[in-house]
Amino acid sequence: MFLGSPSTDHENATKRAMQSRHLMMIAIGGTIGTGIFLSAGSAIALAGPGSALLSYFVVGVFVYTVVITLGEMASMFPVSGAFSIFGSRFVSPALGFTLGWNYWFQCELTAAAIILQYWAPNVQAWEWALVIIAPVFAMQLIHVRVYGESEYWFAMIKVVMVVVFIIVGLIYDWGGVRGHPGPGLSNFHNSQAFIGGFHNFAQTFVYAFFSFGGIELVAVAAGESARPYKAVPRAIKATFFRIVLFYLLTILTIGLCINWQDPTLLSAAYNSDVAASPLTVVFKRAGFGAAAHVINAVLLTAVLSATNSCFYASSRMLLSLARSGQAPRIFGWVNSRGVPVPALIVALAVSFISFLTTIWGEGIVFTWLLNLTGISALLVWGSIGAISLRFRIAYRAQELALSDLPYIQPLFPLLPIGVIVLAILMFIAEGYAAVVEQPFEAKNVVATYVGVCLYIILYLGYTIYERFVLKKTQHFVPLLEVDFETDAVWKPGQGDVVRERDRQEKQIAVDTSREKGRSRWKVWMSNITRHIY
């Protein structure tokens, strides 16, 4: 068996070099991926703008509750493996193994070739993939601070683009562009908002899952951030506004400007010989035809960001699995700069899955990856709800004070229970949509459940390994044996001491600034900026 014993060699460890502003922008960058630029249009084409908007709203509420429940644990235990470590520590090693490898398999790289082929259709997809992968891999090898800084600016560009798109799109829709009368609300009239009934609506969930994939990246990055007990709660609290701004308003704008029967909505995800994104289409129709290539250049930034985050997340997850004894120990090695080089090399090798696009075609590979990553994300998020429940039950069983947690989720246990229930309902809806779709195709059912098969195989496989190879007879971690000290930001009872120290340091910094002649309003603005970034 390839698994090794847990690593006890901490001579070289990852570096806590990312600042709060890096973590905040990583939170944004992780949620603005290629999915919102490519597959969102397919959701509208499939079920209409109203169904797509409702689907993204439901999934948005779902993932927000996931981030809250995950953030409660990640702010107290900031580790690179995040939910994989939490699964092993608070529930069972089999769950941690399953979540870690399941997450590691997820990838967005196929979309890179689709966007870039808009510029040069005659260039092979794998050649463009190399152009993207090589520089990103080189940046990852330098230092985690390089990843944080590069992702900060990648995310900044995406944020500006989305905001400009929403403004331009709404102006165009309202008829504010001379010579281009806007459609207004016509795309929502005459029963066009909801197309195809419930089964079409259910099918849009997979597109939403794919678009929201990566929202949990904040918890993974918390393991290399300075003062995660402050940075993680800030990122969590702002997630709601990001979901509203960058997802719901974007879907609404696309639905207002482009009719659900427009062929470009489907072409964005499955072909590469037309404009690659609904965003580009809207700018063209608003009279900014010359800006089409500029928009795609900005979309290239989204691809680079998605690739950057993919390399980071997969390498850190593999590092965590190796140090937990659930992957070959070689992948737990990091160099003196805190970079897990062997794990990154594996991520590089797996990223060449883009080669498949030249064998079977971009559309086929994209469809299967869409289903695999979408359902896998749903399974991971649902599992996080179960982990949160067990975390709190064990915390209470050991009579630890909730006030000692850096961030306390509201409405417990409603949020984690809601996560589990919503995950089950959406999974049932996905299966129902695949079965009743006409004409019936077995491959659609297989594509829907392939992620579930992977999840079950991983869980049962490790359970059998644990029982017959490791000779362990106890599957679940006993409540009184759950480890609440390793990797904690402070020891039990020390939270108030650390908070008071931070408060005093902050006050000293403010007083020093005033002594240097900074006016009160500049200090006030500085405090606001600190909370935003």
Going from N- to C-terminal start, the domains of the chain cover 20-471, 493-532
CA 450 to mean position of chain CA atoms: 20
What H or E segment, with its residue span, contains residue 36? helix 34-47
- Is the pLDDT score of 72 beyond 60? yes
Instruction: Kindly tell me if the per-residue pLDDT of 510 is higher than 60.
Output: yes
DSSP 248: I
Q: What is the pLDDT of residues 416-468, one digit of tens each?
A: 999 999 999 888 887 887 787 777 777 767 777 777 888 999 999 999 999 99
Element (H, E) at 320: helix 292-323
pLDDT per position as a tens digit, 182-234: 788 888 988 888 988 888 888 888 788 777 877 777 777 777 777 788 888 88
User: What is the reported pLDDT for 2?
Assistant: 44
Confidence of residue 118 (pLDDT cuts 50, 70, 90): very low
Each residue's pLDDT tens digit, 131-147: 777 888 888 888 777 87
> What's the pLDDT at 462?
94
Inter-residue contact 420 to 427 (CB < 8 Å): no
Tokens describing residue 224: 């290399």
CATH number given to 20-471:
1.20.1740.10
pTM of whole model > 0.75?
yes
